Structure 1
Amino acid sequence: MSAPQKQTFLVGNPLVEGDHPREIAFKQRLAAKAGQPGLFWMNGYKSNMEGDKAQCLDEWATENGAAFTRFDYSGHGVSGGDFLDGTISRWLAESLAVFDEKTDGPQIICGSSMGGWLALLLTRAHIAQVGLEKSRIKGLVLIAPAIDMTKVLMWDNFDEAAKAEMAETGIFRRPSAYDDGPYEITAKLIEDGKAHLLGDDLIETGCPVHILQGVKDDAVPWHSSVDLVARLARDDVKLTLVKDGDHRLSRPDDLKLLIRAVENLLER
Structure 2
Amino acid sequence: MERQPPQWFVTGEGPAQRRLAFLEQAGDGAPVVWLGGFRSDMRATKAEALAGWAAERGRAFLRFDYSGHGESEGDFAAFTLSDWLADALAVIENRCKRAPVLVGSSMGGWLALLAARQLAGTALSPAGLVLIAPAVDFTEELMWAQMPDAIRRTILDKGVWQRESDYSPEPTPITRALIEDGRRHILFGGEIRTGCPVHILQGMADPDVPWRQAVKLVEHLSGDPVVLTLVKGGDHRLSTPADLGRLTDAVAGLTTAG
CA positional deviation for 1:181: 2.1
> Which of these residues, 4, 26, 29, is aligned with residue 30 of structure 1?
26
Q: Please list the CA deviations of residues 138-178 of structure 1 after superposition, one character each: whole Å capped at 9, or x if unmatched.
A: 00000000000110011111101101211221101122212
- What does 1:160-171 align with in structure 2 at a 5 Å threshold? 160-171=149-160
- What does 1:99-248 align with in structure 2 at a 5 Å threshold? 99-127=92-120, 131=121, 134-248=123-237
For 1:70, the equivalent position in structure 2 comes to 63
State TM-score, norm by structure 2.
0.95
CA positional deviation for 1:199: 2.1
Q: Pick which of 154-163 and 232-241 moved more.
A: 232-241
State TM-score, norm by structure 1.
0.92
Alignment partners' CA distance in 2, 1:38 and 1:238: 21
Q: Pick which of 196-205 and 44-53 moved more.
A: 196-205
CA positional deviation for 1:37: 1.0
> Which of these residues, 223, 231, 238, is aligned with residue 249 of structure 1?
238
CA positional deviation for 1:234: 2.9
Alignment partners' CA distance in 1, 2:39 and 2:255: 29
Amino acid at match of 1:219: D
Alignment partners' CA distance in 2, 1:202 and 1:142: 17
Alignment partners' CA distance in 2, 1:226 and 1:69: 28
> Which of these residues, 23, 31, 41, is aligned with residue 34 of structure 2?
41
Amino acid at match of 2:18: R
Is the contact made by 1:9 and 1:23 (CA closer than 8 Å) also made in structure 2? yes
For 2:10, the equivalent position in structure 1 comes to 10
Amino acid at match of 2:210: P
Identity %: 47
Amino acid at match of 2:11: V
For 2:16, the equivalent position in structure 1 comes to 20
Secondary structure of 2:59's aligned partner: coil
CA positional deviation for 1:2: 7.2
> Which of these residues, 77, 87, 90, is aligned with residue 83 of structure 2?
90
* CA RMSD in angstroms, aligned pairs only: 1.6
Secondary structure of 1:109's aligned partner: strand
CA positional deviation for 1:77: 0.3
Secondary structure of 1:39's aligned partner: strand
Alignment partners' CA distance in 2, 1:168 and 1:217: 31
Secondary structure of 1:67's aligned partner: strand
Alignment partners' CA distance in 1, 2:239 and 2:155: 32
Secondary structure of 2:162's aligned partner: strand
Q: Gaps spanning 5+ residues in structure 1: where?
A: none
Q: Which runs of 4+ in 1 moved over 4 A?
A: 1-4
CA positional deviation for 1:184: 1.2
Amino acid at match of 1:63: E
Secondary structure of 1:106's aligned partner: coil
Alignment partners' CA distance in 1, 2:13 and 2:142: 29
Secondary structure of 1:179's aligned partner: coil
CA positional deviation for 1:22: 1.2
Secondary structure of 1:205's aligned partner: coil
Alignment partners' CA distance in 2, 1:101 and 1:70: 13
Alignment coverage as a number of residue pairs? 257
CA positional deviation for 1:86: 1.0
Secondary structure of 1:118's aligned partner: helix
